[in-house]
Structure formats: structure tokens, C-alpha cells
Structure 1
Amino acid sequence: MKTAIFKLLIFLFMGVFTTHSQNPDPHGSAESAITGIISTKINNDTMFDINVFAKDYAQAWCSQKPESVASFYAENGSLTINSGTSAVGRTAIAQSAKAFMDAFPDDMIVAFDKLVKTPKGTEFHWTLTGTNTGLNGTGKKVNISGFELWQIDENGLIKESQGTFDAEEYSRQIKYGVND
């Protein structure tokens, strides 16, 4: 009896592995290999878990690799921060990410706080913490929250992101620190 149960478990595991290998997560997350099975479809053959996507995206911001952030965007995707000029395309998006990474080269953490579904898209809420030690840095600690309003394309990539945070409070913290 134990052998039959063991064989059934191996068969089920292999079925999960085979299903995932046929429908790869565009972001390569090991966690997605498991959770993608119960996710929603983004096209006819690929499963997508937006929560795993958001966790992986936050980790990309922490990586000090701007290209990792850009990889979450469609080839011609866009990132707009506080109604500024849009960064269009992965190269421009990587440059926008690099600006933040350069300002916080030692300890920048972008935490994934929550996702909120709205009629306009999905809001990715985040909190950035770090010490401004980059070139011309102030050495002050920053703790600022905001969100990005995402439009996700049929391939599970961000086609448009509208980022928002309190720029005045961010500037104050860069100058005086989070606790001052």
C-alpha cells in the first residue's frame, strides 16, 4: 500500500513538473513553478500568479541590477514616476531604476506591501528603505511608501506603470533623515 501511494505521489509530482516545463513562467521564479498551477491564465497556455510576480519585482529592485527591474516590462513598456517623463522601453526603464539604486547603493530594500485590484489596473504598493550613501549622498536614512498602477500585457509583463510617492517627504528625508 505504501509503495502504491509513493508511486502516485511521484506520478503527481512529475505531472506538475511537466506542466510547468511546458508553460514556463516568464520570470523564472522557482516559487512560480508551484503557485503558477493555481494561477489565472494570461493567454491560452501560460499561467500567471500576480502575487509571485510582485514579490519577484520587489526583489529585482533590491538587486542593484537595473536590468532585472526592466525585465519585468514589455519590450516597449513604460514607467512613469510621479507624473514625470515616461521611461519607454527596457533600456530607459533600467536607467530610471539605476537612479534609485545609485542613490542607495548599500542597503536599499523595496518591500512588497500589497496588491490592490482597481478598475484602472493593479496597484503594487511598496515601501523603500535605505541610506542615501550614493554619489553626493547625504548619509540620511529614508523610509518612503508609494505604489505603481500596473497594466499587464497578455504575456504577463508590465506594459505600463504609473508610479506615485510623496516627493516632498522623500526630499525631506534625503536632507534630514527619516527620524528627524
Structure 2
Amino acid sequence: MIDPKVIEGIAADYTAAWNSKSADAVASFYAPEGEIIINRGEPWTGRSRVREMAAGFYADVPDLSLTCDDVRCSGNHAIFVWTFTGHAATTGNPLNIRGWEEWELDGDLKVIASRGWFDAEDYAKQAGG
């Protein structure tokens, strides 16, 4: 069982990594073969692919700012609830997107698997205006 205070610290550090605009910093929270799947899409497996995923978000939302809204844990699982704001790179439209990640953590507290969720239709609507 993971101490909830430890998970809160990881969530704060993960938020800071996203806000650093460093795809490497984001990827460092994943196990070497860790993966993220967003909205049941194709998996981004391995740190290099997680790095590509983060870089894609930075390209789409160059001024992305993430906040941690809540975090919960049970056993080796955690839920990281977030909101990101910024502006769509293509239109300049403001974005306010809420979502969450469901994490499975290994013994080193690195993400083995993340299932990320947000309303893609709302994202497209906000980005396109």
C-alpha cells in the first residue's frame, strides 16, 4: 500500500514536470516500458513514446498550464485528476480542459500503465472555436 502523502508528492512533482514544458521531465515519471493510453487510443509505450506524447501536447498547446485538482490512491493504483489551460496553437483559442489519469505504479513508484481521459469533443470545440 502506498502512503497517500507520497502519492500527493508524486502528483505535485508530475504537475511541475508538465508545467516545466519538458517532455523528458514528464517521461521520467514512467517506468522504462511504462505506457499511457489516452481516451482508449493507441498506447504510447516506453519513455521515448511518452516523451513524444508530451511533446505533442506542448506543440498543440504551447502555453499549457496544468493543475492537480485531486489525487487518490489504493494499493499500487492512483488517480490523478487535473485541469489544463492554455491556448490552441492553430487558432489561439483559450482552452480549459478537465480530465484524469489512472495510474498503476511499480515498486519504484514509476508509472507502469496510465489510462488518461478527457472530453476530446469539448477539446476540439474549444480549440476550433
Question: TM-score, structure 2 length as denominator?
Answer: 0.92
Higher strand share: 2
Q: CA deviation at 1:113?
A: 0.6
Q: Which residue of 1 aligns with 2:82?
A: 126
Letter in 1 for 2:113: E
| Cα offsets for 1:92-124 (capped at 9, x unmatched) | 00000111011122x210101101235893110
Q: Gaps spanning 5+ residues in structure 2: where? A: none
Unaligned runs of 5+ in 1: 1-38, 41-47
Aligned residues: CA RMSD: 1.7
Decide which of 66, 90, 109 is 2:47's aligned counterpart.
Answer: 90
Q: What residue in structure 2 maps to residue 59 of structure 1?
A: 16
Aligned-residue sequence identity (percent) comes to: 35
The AA in structure 2 aligned to 1:91 is S
Aligned residues: 127
CA distance in 2, matches of 1:62, 1:74: 20
The answer to which structure has the higher helix fraction is 1
Greater radius of gyration (CA) = 1
Aligned pairs for 1:131-142 (under 5 A) are 131-133=87-89, 137-142=90-95
Distance in 2 (alpha carbons) for counterparts of 1:163 and 1:119: 19
Q: Which has the higher contact order (CA 8 A, sep 6+)?
A: 2
Q: TM-score, normalised by structure 1?
A: 0.67
